[in-house]
Amino acid sequence: IHYSHKHKDKYKDKEHKHKDHKKDKEREKSKHGSRYWMGMKSLDGKVKKEKENGFASPPHMKIEPEEDFYHSPKLAKSLKRERDDDNDLDFKPKKIKTENDKKAKKRKQEDEFLFLFLWEEERYTDGVKWKFLEHKGPVFAPPYEPLPSNVKFYYDGKPMKLSPEAEEVATFFSKMLDHEYTTKDIFRKNFFKDWRKEMTSEEKAKITDLKKCNFTEMSEYFKGLSEARKAMTKEQKLKIKEENERLLQEYGFCIMDNHRERIANFRIEPPGLFRGRGDHPKMGMLKRRIRPQDIIINCSKNSKHPEPPPGTKWKEVRHDNKVTWLVSWTENIQGSIKYIMLNPSSRIKGEKDWQKYETARRLKKCVDRIRAQYREDWKSKEMRVRQRAVAIYFIDKLALRAGNEKEEGETADTVGCCSLRVEHIKLYPENEGQEYVVEFDFLGKDSIRYYNKVPVEKRVFKNLQLFMENKEPDDDLFDRLNTSVLNKHLQELMDGLSAKVFRTYNASITLQQQLKELTNEDENIPAKILAPPKTFEKSMQNLQAKIDAKRDQLANAKRDLKAAKADAKGLRDDKSKKTVETKRKAVQRIEEQLMKLEVQATDREENKQIALGTSKLNYLDPRISVAWCKKWGIPIEKIYNKTQREKFAWAIDMAEKDFEF
């Protein structure tokens, strides 16, 4: 086949240029990952044509490289060499499931296409993420529209016309008036300080006390606007929808290496007041408006780069194909960089996701060894080794996050494993009949409280006592450890291993086990798996409230019935008899409703068992669920909604019913 050489040469070229083998991982990744993505919506119609060949449709052949898709870098390398040496264009996957011979010839063609594409994908070595990238740039926040003159701001009871700059910031506050934030001291203090920066000197002189500011008219005005928006006619709503769709079509997609890909966040974040989570020292600060001169554009040299709005300039246009972002800017609250990147359905995100689960599957193979190792290390002579070993145990057993250190005063005070302080744990040699109990109580990511009482192994317990000796409550529990030391160690234990891999691994392996356990042949499976909503607890509470209300209602109805009966007994007329009947019916009806609610409640509670809830999107290998669906004939739509199906398209395509995590 003629087109082979060109590619071959390209490949060889690369090989010579890059002698370092650090990135073998990347190569190995694309080897099998491309299977799905290469068949995806393509721009030049090339793949589409192949699709007519039956190639890009769900595969009826299956490639089964040894070792569950994973090659150690070394192996990957040698496989590659082999091919290279053979000048191998009729490279065949090791095993092909053949259904019949008729299709064999066709399949061979497919293999050649497959090979070609694998070839193509293999170019991405040394961190290169794409070859071609073109997009339309970001959509900026709409400019500020001054308030109508009848909407006034009052200072100290008197109306006061603000300059547009000061007024805009005031509107940010007024829009949050109903929010708890605006009652918090830090929020108010930060807001007022930043607001004053936007004021004219006259305004600054006059407005000196936030308590004297009255934003209610402004607040009412915005409430009115949102009411009006809700009350719009069908046509008006449709018009807005169409406009949004137009914007999406124009700015919401980019072209990356022959694919038209959806962009995740093509709109620049509008200005507003920073809302931190928990006790964030910066809450209330002004998030300033992003202008074209703040924006760095990233695209390929040979693309048509986006034009800045008339009369403006980009900060920079660069061509860095070692990164995946299209647009970036520096945010003014923390000074961190924000990015515009692709949607989870894109090749670049999907491949990465897939890779993540492959890493977790590799952990499965050596987790026993690693566990044995850290248990051994609990006995180490070296303090840092012991601390490391106990930390890994927590990460593995309790799914704690790594816990990077954070700059004090810049963010809320939250911790993870490595940043735990003495004050965050309590030790109980005995507690409620269990030995060696550790009580965790700390604020984790997003200032969400982690509270847990767990019995641990004696050695762990003794070590913790040791770590806490002679320390103040606010001292680090693991004073000889940080995340970079920890991850360096993990990396040595397994290529690609870091703390968060344990979360992925443990979540996925547990899901698989649970599915196996809880699904039995003769049962009518389906309802079980239906994922409880993220708001599970809340909806459970709602339901409970309903049940309680219904009970009250029932009690009332019964009382009424009794009263009516008594009446009827006394009066003995038709009318009161009738009332008794209706009351009786009412009681009956309410009883039925109550029953229904109670059934609902137990159903929901039981469903929790295989809760696919929140972790579904980030920690559970989608192939497990996909395989389960295929095995039990459950439509995938029951598990994943549209967005999720797009994100996991690779898994839906890739996983067979016998997939094992």
Partner DNA sequence: TGAAAGACTTGGAATAATTTTC
Partner DNA sequence: GAAAATTATTCCAAGTCTTTCA
Q: Which residues are catalytic?
A: 619
What six digits make up the tokens of 355? Answer: 């890779």
Closest approach of DNA to the CB of residue 89, in Å: 32
Instruction: Select the residue interacting with DNA from 120, 217, 269, 294 (CB under 7 A).
Output: 269
Contacts 24+ apart (CB under 8 A), 395-400: 395/499, 395/502, 396/371, 396/502, 396/506, 397/454, 398/440, 398/452, 398/454, 399/502, 399/503, 399/506, 399/507, 400/444, 400/450
Question: What is the DSSP secondary structure assignment for residue 199, as one 8-state letter?
Answer: S
CB 358, min distance to DNA, A: 13
224 belongs to the binding site for DNA (CB under 7 A)? no
Pick the stretch among 212-220, 509-517, 578-586, 640-648 that binds DNA (CB under 7 A): 640-648
Segment interacting with DNA, rule: CB under 7 A, options 59-67, 106-114, 465-473, 535-543: 535-543
- Residue 444 binds DNA, judged by CB under 7 A: yes
Candidates 353, 377, 396, 476; binder of DNA (CB under 7 A) is 353
Q: Write out the DSSP string of 42-72.
A: -SSSHHHHHHHTTSSSSPSS-B--TTTT---
Does residue 199 touch DNA according to CB under 7 A? no
241 touching DNA, by CB under 7 A: yes
25 binds DNA (CB under 7 A): no
Does 272 bind DNA (CB under 7 A)? Our answer is yes
Contact (CB, 8 A) for 583 and 623: no
β-bridge partners, 179 = none
349 makes contact with DNA (CB under 7 A): yes
119 pairs with which residues across the strands?
none
Interface with DNA (CB under 7 A), residue from 366, 448, 466, 566:
448
Q: How many residues bind DNA (CB under 7 A)?
A: 71
What is the identity of the amino acid at 265?
A: N
- From the list 260, 241, 239, the residue with the least C-alpha distance to 251 is 260
**Which one, 250 or 435, has the nearer CB to DNA?**
250
Considering only residues 357 through 386, tell me which ones interact with DNA, judged by CB under 7 A: none
Q: Which is nearer to DNA, 70 or 339 (CB)?
A: 339
Report residue 656 as tokens.
Answer: 């067979």
Query: Is residue 302 near DNA by the rule CB under 7 A?
Result: no
Name which position in 171, 182, 414, 512 contacts DNA (CB under 7 A).
414
Q: Which of 6, 94, 381, 642 binds DNA (CB under 7 A)?
A: 642
Q: Which of residues 541-580 bind DNA (CB under 7 A)?
A: 542-543
Out of 483, 506, 579, 625, point to the residue binding DNA (CB under 7 A): 483
Please select the residue that binds DNA; options are 446, 469, 472, 522, rule is CB under 7 A: 446
Query: Quick check: 526 binds DNA (CB under 7 A)?
Result: no
Least spacing, CB of residue 611 vs DNA, in Å = 13
Counting contacts by CB under 7 A, is residue 535 touching DNA? yes
Question: How many residues are listed for the chain in this entry?
Answer: 661
CB atoms within 10 A of CB 140: 17
Q: Counting beta carbons within 10 angstroms of the beta carbon of residue 286, is it exposed (0 to 12), middle (13 to 18) or buried (19 or more)? A: buried
Q: Residue 446 CB, nearest distance to DNA (Å)?
A: 4
Stretch that binds DNA, among 1-9, 105-113, 322-330, 518-526 (CB under 7 A): 322-330
The residue type found at 358 is E
In angstroms, give the least distance from the CB of 51 to DNA: 25
- Does residue 500 interact with DNA by CB under 7 A? yes
Give the type of residue at 327.
Answer: V
Is residue 411 near DNA by the rule CB under 7 A? Answer: yes
Distances (CA, A) of 635 to 526, 607, 639, 650, 652: 9, 18, 8, 17, 11
Query: Which CB sits closer to DNA, 447 or 514?
Result: 447
604-633 residues near DNA, rule: CB under 7 A? 614-615, 618-619
The greatest distance separating any two alpha carbons of the chain, rounded to the nearest whole angstrom, comes to 106
- Which residue among 48, 95, 108, 179 contacts DNA (CB under 7 A)? 179
Contact between 165 and DNA per CB under 7 A: no
Answer for the pair 659, 623: CB distance below 8 angstroms, yes or no: yes
Q: Are 282 and 190 in contact (CB under 8 A)?
A: yes
By CB under 7 A, name the one of 328, 387, 508, 579 that touches DNA: 328
Q: Candidates 34-42, 90-98, 104-112, 480-488 — which segment interacts with DNA by CB under 7 A?
A: 480-488
Query: Shortest approach of DNA to residue 157 CB, angstroms?
Result: 29
- Only one residue has tokens 């012991």, namely 386
Which region, judged by CB under 7 A, interacts with DNA, from 5-13, 457-465, 626-634, 636-644?
636-644
Helix boundaries (H) for 378-422:
383-398
The site map against DNA for 114-133 (x = CB under 7 A) is -------------x-x----
Per-residue tokens: 310 = 């008339």
User: Cβ of residue 328: shortest distance to DNA, in angstroms?
Assistant: 6
**Position among 106, 212, 239, 534 found at the interface with DNA (CB under 7 A):** 534
Among 280, 361, 388, 489, binds DNA (CB under 7 A): 280
Q: Tell which one of 45, 58, 159, 270 touches DNA (CB under 7 A).
A: 270
Q: Over 445-506, what HEC string results?
A: HHHCEEEEEEECCHHHHHHHHHHHCCCCCCCECCCCCCHHHHHHHHHHHCCCCCHHHHHHHH
According to CB under 7 A, which one of 302, 452, 513, 539 is a site residue for DNA? 539
Element (H, E) at 425: strand 425-431
The angle formed by the CA atoms of residues 262, 299 and 49, to the nearest 5 degrees, is: 55
Would you count residue 174 as binding DNA (CB under 7 A)? Answer: no
DSSP classification of residue 411: S
Backbone angles phi, psi at 79, to 5 degrees: -60, -40
Smallest gap from residue 640 Cβ to DNA (A): 9
